[in-house]
């Protein structure tokens, strides 16, 4: 009959003391109640509309009641949604009621104040410039389908009736689907690289590298390889073999002429740098083996930078910065220092050596001497000294030698000068190797200063 349950009418009638209400009257009243409710809703909708909202609120209802000259319902002006409880009256009948929350006064007083809502503010942006909607973050990405390029000509030409301005369904970006073959290939390559259980394994591994180095259809796999590389390097810092194999994979990828790795360089650099200047690579039992890994990493870094350094301008400075930081950090082991020196050499070339290594040798001298004095670490320190010497050698090769030995003192005076300039250890070494060109190159700084 009516949507409003006539039983409610009977209940209300009983609550005010009318016990026998004829059924006709009940039905009639139920229908009337329904009409009144519809009337209130009709008015409430008006308030919702004028409030430019799409949800009807309790406020709208109370405004509507006031407009209809009815006393509004108090106590429901809530910004949070009302919670309805449900009670069973036995049988199939159910009763719904608004749950009253019990609040402890003590708790309410002592609880922290609710967060202040954020201040209302406004921002301005161009929604359209001379009929074209600029693609800025403030504007929606309706043009994902490439319409943005030539939107003006799209939108300003008269639309024919068949034009599909609004009816156009935007296709979602194609989901990245990897073919079964590629998945299998990826799994095999990864297994081949890491698996050491198979006896003649190096053959298999070499085959894998060769494949990665030369196959054409791998571009889809690149993101997976990248993930694989960074994942393995972060989780296998203790295993030099894994690190080496993974770095070789990087090298193989770099070798592949069919891949465009430029977008992935930012994610490769940290991985390679980790292998280069990482604090603890491998286990202590590995001894000096990690220097080899660092050499490999350094060569890969050099290749990376040669290949992509021009495209990503901030690459070199950032890498150099972290290398210098690692080198001059006395808390780091010599292994890290070694890697850092290698990195600096390969990152910045002779200019780097000249401007980043030479000026800091003086400071580093203290650390070196300490290391050389300590028996357990001497070997490592020596390796660093060798690396530094190697770096200085590049200066020699680079230096045109035009400065010659002009104005350079002899003998002890020269040694003293070198020690002053680059510290005791390196100064002596340079003096001992004795190449005048090298000495000149090292002292170049002084000459210019």
Partner 1 sequence: MAAQPPPPSRTGSVGPASAGGMGTPTAGTPGSQGSGSNQNLNQIVLEYLSKKGYSRTEAMLKRESGSVAFDANGTPLAFADRHKGRRWHEAYNVVKAWVDSILDIYKPELSRILWPLFVHCFIETIADCYPTDGRVFFQECRKTFDEEHSDDLRALSAIQEPEHVQQNDIAQLYRTNKYRLTLSKMGFATLIEFLETKESEGGKSMSFLINNHLDIHTVDRAAIGGARGLQRLMDEKRGDEQAPAEDEGIPGHHPGSANLDVGATGALHRLQLAPMPMEPDLMDDVKAELNHEDSTHPPRAGRSSLADQFEQRIKVEPSDDTAPSRETIPFPPSTARDVAMEVQKVKENRDRFRIEGKTGGVGPGVSVTMFTFHNTFDSVNCIEFSDDNTLAAIGTAESYIRVWSLDNRALTSPQDPPGFQPSSSRRLVGHSDPVYALSFSPSAAVPQPQTNGHTDHSTTPDSQPRYMLSCSADTTIRLWSLDTWTNLVVYRSHNSPVWDVRFCPHGHYFASASADRTARLWSTPQIAPLRIFAGHDSDVETLAWHPNGAYIFTGAGVGDKTVRMWSIAQGTQARIFTGHAGNITAIACAPSGHTVASADDKGVIILWDLRSGRLVKRMRGHGAGGVWSLDWSVESTVLVSGGADNSVRVWDVQPSNETQAKANGENGGPVKLDGTAANGTTVSKVAKAKGRDQATPDMISDFKTKKSPVYKVRFTQMNLVLAGGAYLP
Our CB check for partner 1 shows the closer of 150 and 195 to be: 150
Residue 53 is a binding residue for partner 1 (CB under 8 A): yes
Residue 86 within binding range of partner 1, rule CB under 8 A: no
Among 13, 21, 34, 377, binds partner 1 (CB under 8 A): 34
* Distance from C-alpha of 251 to C-alpha of 296, rounded to nearest angstrom: 9
Question: What is the C-alpha separation between 400 and 433, in angstroms, rounded?
Answer: 19
The answer to whether 59 contacts partner 1 (rule: CB under 8 A) is yes
Out of 47, 209, 225, 291, the only residue in the binding site for partner 1 (CB under 8 A) is 47
- The DSSP letter of residue 110 is H
Segment contacting partner 1 by CB under 8 A, of 5-13, 164-172, 262-270, 399-407: 164-172
Can you tell me which of 5, 7, 8, 50 binds partner 1, judged by CB under 8 A?
50
Residue 52 near partner 1 by CB under 8 A:
yes
From 29-37, 222-230, 318-326, 436-444, give the range in contact with partner 1 by CB under 8 A: 29-37
CB 426 within 8 A of CB 365: yes
* Closest separation in Å from C-beta 40 to partner 1: 10
Asked whether position 2 contacts partner 1 by CB under 8 A, the answer is yes
Rounded-to-integer distance, Cα 77 and Cα 94, Å: 26
Residue 77: which region, alpha, beta or left (left: phi > 0; alpha: psi -120 to 50)?
A: beta
Only one of the segments 27-35, 70-78, 90-98, 319-327 lies at the binding site for partner 1 (rule: CB under 8 A); that segment is: 27-35
CB of 63 to partner 1, least distance (A): 6
158 sits near partner 1 (criterion: CB under 8 A): yes
In the complex, what is the shortest distance from the CB of residue 51 to partner 1, in angstroms, rounded to a whole number? 5
Measured between alpha carbons, how far apart are the two ends of the chain, in Å? 102
The answer to the question of residue 46 lying near partner 1 (CB under 8 A) is yes
Q: Of 99-128, which residues contact partner 1 (CB under 8 A)?
A: 117-128
Look at the alpha carbons of 424, 425, 430, 432 in this order and tell me if their dihedral is positive or negative.
positive
Nearer to partner 1, 165 or 331 (CB): 165
Q: Please choose, out of 10-18, 133-141, 376-384, 431-439, the segment that lies near partner 1 by the rule CB under 8 A.
A: 133-141
Give the residue ranges of DSSP H helices in 328-410. 334-352, 358-373, 375-398
Q: How far is the CB of 21 from partner 1 (least distance, A)?
A: 15
Long-range contacts of 254-259 (CB under 8 A, 24+ apart): 254/300, 254/303, 254/304, 254/307, 255/212, 255/213, 255/214, 256/212, 256/213, 256/214, 256/215, 256/218, 258/215, 258/216, 258/217, 258/218, 258/219, 259/218, 259/219, 259/222
Among 26, 58, 72, 152, binds partner 1 (CB under 8 A): 152
- Binds partner 1 by CB under 8 A, chosen from 13, 21, 26, 31: 31
Using CA of residue 279, residue 280, residue 286, residue 287, what is the dihedral sign? positive
Contacts with partner 1 in 425-444 (CB under 8 A)?
none
How far apart CA 355 and CA 381 sit, in angstroms, is: 22
CB of 138 to partner 1, least distance (A): 6
3-class SS of residue 18: coil
List 146, 167, 199, 257, residue binding partner 1 (CB under 8 A): 167
1, 12, 73, 184: residue in contact with partner 1 (rule CB under 8 A): 1
User: Please, are residues 322 and 295 in contact by the beta-carbon 8 Å criterion?
Assistant: no
- Nearest Cα neighbor of 233 from 288, 262, 279, 270 is 270
Among 114, 131, 172, 257, interactor with partner 1 by CB under 8 A: 131
Contacts of 335 by beta carbon, 8 Å cutoff, 6+ apart: 278, 279, 280, 281, 290, 291, 294, 380
Site of interaction with partner 1 (CB under 8 A):
1-2, 24, 28, 31-32, 34-35, 38-39, 42, 46-47, 49-55, 59, 63, 67, 117-133, 138-140, 142, 152, 155-161, 163, 165-167
């Amino acid at each position: 009959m009516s949507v409003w349950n006539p039983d409610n009418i009977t209940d209300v009638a009983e609550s005010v003391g009318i016990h026998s209400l004829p059924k006709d009257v009940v039905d009639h009243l139920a229908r009337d109640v329904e009409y009144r409710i519809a009337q209130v809703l009709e008015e409430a909708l008006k308030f919702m509309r004028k409030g430019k909202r799409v949800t009807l609120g309790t406020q709208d209802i109370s405004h509507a009641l006031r407009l209809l000259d009815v006393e509004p319902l108090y106590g429901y002006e809530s910004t949070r949604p009302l919670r309805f409880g449900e009670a069973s009256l036995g049988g199939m009948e159910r009763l719904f009621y608004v749950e009253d929350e019990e609040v402890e006064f003590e708790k309410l007083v002592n609880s922290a104040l609710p967060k202040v809502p954020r201040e209302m503010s406004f921002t301005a942006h161009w929604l359209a410039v001379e009929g074209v909607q600029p693609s800025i973050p403030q504007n929606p990405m309706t043009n994902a389908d490439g319409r943005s390029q030539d939107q003006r000509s799209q939108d300003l030409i008269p639309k024919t009736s068949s034009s599909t301005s609004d009816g156009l369904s935007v296709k979602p970006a194609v989901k990245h689907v990897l073919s079964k073959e590629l998945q299998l290939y990826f799994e095999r390559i990864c297994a081949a690289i890491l698996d050491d259980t198979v006896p003649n394994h190096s053959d298999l591994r070499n085959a894998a590298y060769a494949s990665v180095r030369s196959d054409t259809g791998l571009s889809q796999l690149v993101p997976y390889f990248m993930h694989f590389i960074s994942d393995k390097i972060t989780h296998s810092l203790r295993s030099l073999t894994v690190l080496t194999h993974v770095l070789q994979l990087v090298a193989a990828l770099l070798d592949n002429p069919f891949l465009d790795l430029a977008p992935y360089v930012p994610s490769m650099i940290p991985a390679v740098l980790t292998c280069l200047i990482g604090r603890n690579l491998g286990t202590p039992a590995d001894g000096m083996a990690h220097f080899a890994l660092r050499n490999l990493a350094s060569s890969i870094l050099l290749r990376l930078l040669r290949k992509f350094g021009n495209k990503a301008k901030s690459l070199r400075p950032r890498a150099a910065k972290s290398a210098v930081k690692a080198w001059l950090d006395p808390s780091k082991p010599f292994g890290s220092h070694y890697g850092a020196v290698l990195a600096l050499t390969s990152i910045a070339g002779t200019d780097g050596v000249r401007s980043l290594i030479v000026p800091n040798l003086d400071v580093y001298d203290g650390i070196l001497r300490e290391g050389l004095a300590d028996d357990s670490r001497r070997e490592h320190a020596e390796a660093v000294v060798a690396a530094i010497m190697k770096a200085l050698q590049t200066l020699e090769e680079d230096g045109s030698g035009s400065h010659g030995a002009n104005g350079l003192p002899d003998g002890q005076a020269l040694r003293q000068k070198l020690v002053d300039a680059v510290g005791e250890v390196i100064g002596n070494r340079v003096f001992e190797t004795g190449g005048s060109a090298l000495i000149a190159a090292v002292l170049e700084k002084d000459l210019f200063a």
